[in-house]
């Protein structure tokens, strides 16, 4: 059971407090309601580039990192298509240092030209290191536009291309900040051995005077249901052929999320899973094969991906994957197999909740999704999924016209 208390400041900042008496550390997490989905098609990669700029000094404080490190803390952040999340971890007695730093960069950034110039280069190197200079690194740069034709999920968080990052201007930076980095567009979660009163006092002191700049009421048009089978084949300098199949499914907030997650576990979690047993062990068609869900907040994906063994054709590989997908969609799933994946989920959850950081971040996610009280219902929701639910989900999801396939052909 993850417990928390809450209040909202007059400027709209939602503050949640999670007490943990067992740790000498505190976590301060700020989740901003902005992600790559809020970008326009001509200026992609901006939410993520902006996250880098948030460490380049704020209006009254030259460096974000130095004072935090001086107080024994460390921090990081990440951006995805849906949200941008910042977190600090430090000794609980120095909690105020994090409030001071986080509030000043929410108030206003320093907007120095040097910071923009350097972070553009850093992000370009990140683009190269993670997406271009890695085998199969550009897979999602290719898959997203194949799956999404109108929705902003068609670009990756890093951006469509390096040129978009090169072209970012200071005006872009400023307007992005004042549009999205607002107290009423954020959730602050504090975890540690302190009190709600203390958190309230610090929140009012440091965040209270920041003006509300408006909530990001995005109204994105949903991507229409896919009507045809899609395929893209490219050649790359890689050592083995690889295959990616993506199926549209419901979002993180939909019941599909739980059903789809368990279906992916039945298919590929661990060596006793179906895909591993049938296609890696028995038929020896793949050297890796996995199934997972994307968990997108707007729209979800069920992905099956793997590397082919030498001499195996794409045709054989695909036919055999389809056989397994059809089997799970048509043959009744035994209770024992379902219990197995539920038990594994339960163990994973207990271990993941040991971390204060994970608990705090999860509270922030659920609050931002608009259902904070459901954070403790996850186990119940997974438990409630039946074999029939999974079968129905698979039947309507694993359909050719709902599938986008990317084939990477090895040039070597």
Number of H helices, E strands in the chain: 15, 11
Exposed e or buried b per residue across 278-305, where buried means at least 16 C-beta atoms within 10 angstroms of its C-beta: bbbeeeebbeebbbbbbebbbbbbbbbb
**Residues 26 and 71 sit within 8 Å (Cβ to Cβ):** no
In whole angstroms, give the CA distance from residue 284 to residue 253: 37
List the beta bridge partners of residue 245.
Answer: 304, 405
Binding to another protein, residues 333-352 (CB under 8 A): 336, 339-340, 343-344, 346-348, 350-351
Exposed e or buried b per residue across 88-125, where buried means at least 16 C-beta atoms within 10 angstroms of its C-beta: bbbebebbebbbbbbbbbbbebbbeeebbeebbeebbe
Radius of gyration of the chain (CA): 23
Cβ proximity to another protein: between 171 and 237 the closer is: 237
Binding to another protein, residues 216-255 (CB under 8 A): 237-240
Minimum Å distance from CB 337 to another protein? 9
- Binds another protein by CB under 8 A, chosen from 104, 320, 367, 389: 104
Give the contact letters, 302-321, x = binds to another protein (CB under 8 A), - = no: -----x-x------------
In whole angstroms, give the CA distance from residue 391 to residue 337: 13
Cβ proximity to another protein: between 149 and 346 the closer is: 346
**Residues 244 and 283 sit within 8 Å (Cβ to Cβ):** no
Q: Give the residue among 123, 116, 86 at the shortest CA–CA distance from 104.
A: 86
Give the contact letters, 184-223, x = binds to another protein (CB under 8 A), - = no: ---------------------x---x--------------
Cβ proximity to another protein: between 217 and 347 the closer is: 347
In whole angstroms, give the CA distance from residue 215 to residue 226: 31
Cβ proximity to another protein: between 309 and 386 the closer is: 309
Give the contact letters, 353-372, x = binds to another protein (CB under 8 A), - = no: xx-x----------------
In whole angstroms, give the CA distance from residue 397 to residue 389: 12
Binding to another protein, residues 264-283 (CB under 8 A): 269-272, 277, 280-281
Cβ proximity to another protein: between 242 and 249 the closer is: 242
In whole angstroms, give the CA distance from residue 143 to residue 405: 8
Cβ proximity to another protein: between 217 and 351 the closer is: 351
- Binds another protein by CB under 8 A, chosen from 3, 60, 313, 316: 60
Cα 185–chain centre separation: 18
- Binds another protein by CB under 8 A, chosen from 5, 8, 10, 70: 70
User: Does the footprint of another protein cover residue 71 (CB under 8 A)?
Assistant: yes
Minimum Å distance from CB 102 to another protein? 12
User: Does the footprint of another protein cover residue 133 (CB under 8 A)?
Assistant: yes
Minimum Å distance from CB 2 to another protein? 12
Minimum Å distance from CB 82 to another protein? 23
């Amino acid at each position: 059971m993850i417990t928390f208390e809450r209040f909202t400041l007059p400027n709209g900042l939602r503050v949640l407090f999670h007490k943990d008496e067992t740790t000498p550390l505190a976590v301060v997490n700020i989740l901003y309601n902005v992600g790559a989905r809020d970008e326009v098609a001509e200026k992609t990669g901006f939410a993520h580039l902006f996250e880098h700029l948030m460490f380049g000094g704020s209006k009254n404080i030259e460096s974000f990192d130095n004072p935090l490190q001086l107080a024994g803390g460390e921090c990081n952040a990440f951006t995805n298509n849906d949200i941008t999340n910042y977190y600090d971890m430090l000794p609980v007695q120095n909690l105020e240092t994090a409030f001071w730093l986080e509030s000043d960069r929410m108030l206003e950034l320093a907007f120095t030209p040097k910071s923009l110039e350097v972070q553009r280069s850093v992000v370009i190197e990140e683009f190269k290191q993670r997406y271009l200079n890695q085998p199969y690194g550009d897979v999602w740069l290719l898959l997203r536009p194949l799956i999404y034709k109108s929705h902003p999920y068609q670009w990756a968080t890093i951006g469509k291309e390096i040129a978009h990052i090169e072209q970012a201007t200071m005006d872009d930076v400023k307007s992005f900040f004042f549009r999205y980095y607002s107290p009423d567009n954020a959730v602050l979660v504090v975890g540690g051995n302190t009190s709600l009163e203390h958190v309230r006092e610090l929140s009012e002191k440091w965040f209270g005077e920041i003006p509300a700049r408006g909530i990001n009421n995005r109204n994105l048009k949903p991507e229409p249901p896919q009507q045809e089978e899609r395929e893209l084949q490219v050649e790359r300098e890689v050592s083995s052929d690889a295959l990616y199949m993506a199926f549209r499914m419901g979002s993180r907030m939909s019941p599909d999320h739980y059903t789809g997650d368990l279906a992916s576990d039945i298919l590929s979690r661990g060596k006793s899973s179906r895909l591993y047993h049938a296609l890696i062990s028995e038929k020896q068609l793949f050297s890796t094969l996995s199934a997972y869900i994307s968990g997108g907040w707007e729209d979800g994906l069920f992905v099956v991906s793997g590397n082919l063994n030498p001499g195996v054709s794409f045709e054989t590989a695909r036919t055999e994957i389809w056989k397994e997908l059809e089997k799970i969609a048509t043959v009744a799933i035994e209770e024992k197999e379902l219990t197995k994946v539920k038990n594994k989920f339960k163990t994973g959850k207990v271990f993941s909740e040991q971390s204060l950081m994970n608990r705090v971040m999860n509270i922030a996610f659920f609050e931002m999704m608009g259902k904070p009280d459901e954070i403790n219902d996850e186990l119940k929701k997974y438990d409630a999924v039946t074999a029939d639910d999974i079968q129905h989900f698979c039947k309507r999801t694993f359909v050719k016209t709902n599938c986008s396939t990317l084939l990477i052909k090895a040039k070597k």
